[in-house]
Amino acid sequence: MSDVLAVVDHRRGQLRDVSYELISAGAALAEAMDGTLALAVISGNVEQFAATLDREGVDTIYTVDHGEEFNHDVYVQSIEALYDELTPTALLMPNSVNGLDYAPAIAERLGMPLVTDAIDLSYDEILTVTREMYGSKVETTVTVSEEPFAVTVRGSEWAKAEGNGGATIEPFEVSIDESAMRSTVTGFEEVGGGDVDITDADVLVSVGRGIEEEENIELVERLADALGATLSSSRPIVDNGWLPKNRQVGQSGKVVTPEVYIAIGISGAVQHVAGMKGSETIVAINTDPDAPIFDIADYGIIGDLFDVVPALIEEFDE
């Protein structure tokens, strides 16, 4: 028997989508390994979470009722205890911000090989993981010829599990060693409020690293004005302090779904795409024909934004 243990993700009372995707990834892996799929639900309203997570492919759901919010020390101790009890072959975790706060620690503690940010998994006597490198420019496969192993899976790559698994729900007692806790969560804060809500806009003109200098932001502002659009941006523009945080589209910023999204000088890193792929029409202007943004764009111009944007402004200012 080669079993899979998947650890679900939740935050502030809500299960995160990646939890259902982990079930799909875990169920497929368990089938390939001829084993079972167990879920670990750690902290929060574990009973309610467990009931919601009882989807097709889940055999057992272990609940660790300790505290409300995520704490990596609690997660590491709980997963270690579950591992000792269940000795799974595969440990699946989310490649979320919180996943990356405990997955490397538990893999290190248990001495397991770890492969992060999987976009596909297959198992045929050994594990093969598909993952990207060099900012999504290439895909790679890596094999892991040691068991047990640990993998974190990227969000939105697997379908969300549906149906009913008829899983057994088992409360699992872990005596958390409070003296080994080295960090305390003291609160949460929503950031990026302010004057503009980019999630409300019908048309977004979004600017990225290709704009090169702060003083060039004015050029895309003029385009947004000419189009009657709202200005947004990718992460580097906000990191540089050229636009405020409330303009940021992406995983750590806002998720937007406008009618038209015009990406200017944005390469289309996965974190950005996560925030705008639901847009109805996507337009990309970029010098790099290999830029991943063209994979999801409906219309595109391969060209220098400093030539194209002024020409476009002229079209609409006429």
Partner 1 sequence: MKVLVAVKEVATVEEGFELDGTTIDERYLEYDLNEWDDYAIETGVQLAEDDDDIEVVSVSIGPERAEETIRMALAKGVDRAIRVWDDTLAAAELLDVRTKAELFDAVIEAEAPDLVLTGVQAHDDSFGATGVAVAEAAGFGHAAVVNALELDADAGTAHVRRELEGGVEELTDVELPAVLTIQTGINEPRYASLRGIRMAQRKEIDVQTLADLGLDPAVVDSPIELTDMYEPESESNVELFEGDANAAAENLATVLREKGVGAE
- Stretch 34-63 residues interacting with partner 1 (CB under 8 A): none
CB atoms within 10 A of CB 248: 25
Closest CA to 126 of 143, 151, 102, 107: 143
**In angstroms, rounded to a whole number, what is the distance separating the alpha carbons of residues 7 and 100?**
12
Asked if 80 contacts 103 with a C-beta cutoff of 8 angstroms, the reply is no
Retrieve residue 175's tokens.
């005596």
Taking the least distance from each CB to partner 1, the nearer of 82 and 106 is 106
> Per CB under 8 A, does 314 bind partner 1?
yes
> Per CB under 8 A, does 68 bind partner 1?
no
> Per CB under 8 A, does 101 bind partner 1?
yes
Among positions 109-168, residues that touch partner 1 (CB under 8 A) are 109, 111, 113-117, 128, 131-146, 149
Q: Which stretch binds partner 1 (CB under 8 A): 19-27, 59-67, 210-218, 281-289?
A: 281-289
Residue 177 Cβ vs partner 1, minimum distance, rounded to whole Å: 13
> Per CB under 8 A, does 11 bind partner 1?
yes
> Per CB under 8 A, does 215 bind partner 1?
no
Taking the least distance from each CB to partner 1, the nearer of 169 and 217 is 217
Residue 132: Cβ-neighbour burial (10 angstroms; 0-12, 13-18, 19+): middle
Identify the three-state secondary structure at position 35.
coil
Among positions 178-197, residues that touch partner 1 (CB under 8 A) are 182-192
> Per CB under 8 A, does 218 bind partner 1?
no
Residue 205 Cβ vs partner 1, minimum distance, rounded to whole Å: 10
Among 87, 163, 259, 278, binds partner 1 (CB under 8 A): 259
> Per CB under 8 A, does 243 bind partner 1?
no
**In angstroms, rounded to a whole number, what is the distance separating the alpha carbons of residues 211 and 289?**
17
Among 216, 219, 227, 257, binds partner 1 (CB under 8 A): 227
Measured CA angle at 285 (ends 279, 289), to 5 deg? 110
E strand or H helix at 268:
none
Measured CA angle at 90 (ends 84, 91), to 5 deg? 70
Taking the least distance from each CB to partner 1, the nearer of 164 and 186 is 186
Taking the least distance from each CB to partner 1, the nearer of 82 and 224 is 224
Residue 210 Cβ vs partner 1, minimum distance, rounded to whole Å: 12
Taking the least distance from each CB to partner 1, the nearer of 180 and 218 is 180
Residues 6+ apart with CB under 8 A from 113: 107, 144, 146, 149, 150
